[in-house]
A = this chain, B = another copy of it.
Amino acid sequence: MAKQPQSTVAVNARLTKGSQKVLQLLEKRNSLSTAQEIHSLLRNEDESAPGLTTVYRALESLVALGLVQSVELGDGEKRFELVTPGEHHHHLVCERCRESIHLDQCLVEDLESAIKTKYGFAVTGHILEIFGVCKRCK
């Protein structure tokens, strides 16, 4: 069985079956996945797995709970992945192998107070993803 952070276990009890299935899959995968990928993977191993609609709804509630984050890579398809509950992170996405490296630090958070000072703008959220070629594909 996959390891789960304690808070995940606590929340898990309150999740619908569909959400639990989706969460379990994301725990195993640990990489960016589209809703449709999640759906097919679940259906592959169990033909009575949640339907696509339920997967979308599960993802929506997991994101709202802060257990999962939604990532935009600019291709019109949302990707999802587990996060440390309530936190977020960004990626270096390799254009060759599509693997992504998690950044351990958020560039934007570091700059929020500078942005506040310079522009009088109070940051509440952001999108940041970096594309390029990873070490192995170089």
Which of A43-51, A53-61, A114-122 forms contacts with chain B? A114-122
The residue in chain B whose Cβ has the minimal distance to the Cβ of A129 is B127
**Is A133 interfacial (CB-CB < 8 Å)?**
yes
User: Could you tell me if B101 and A107 are in contact, using CB atoms closer than 8 angstroms?
Assistant: no
Number of copies: 2
User: Could you tell me if B121 and A133 are in contact, using CB atoms closer than 8 angstroms?
Assistant: yes
A119 contacts which chain B residues (CB < 8 A)?
A: 92, 101, 134-135
**Is A138 interfacial (CB-CB < 8 Å)?**
yes
Encoded as 1 (CB less than 8 Å from any B CB) or 0, chain A from 70 to 95 comes to: 00111010000000000000001011
Count of interface residues, chain A, beta-carbon cutoff 8 Å: 30
**Is A108 interfacial (CB-CB < 8 Å)?**
yes
Binding site for B on A (CB under 8 A): 72-74, 76, 92, 94-95, 101, 107-108, 111, 115, 119-135, 138
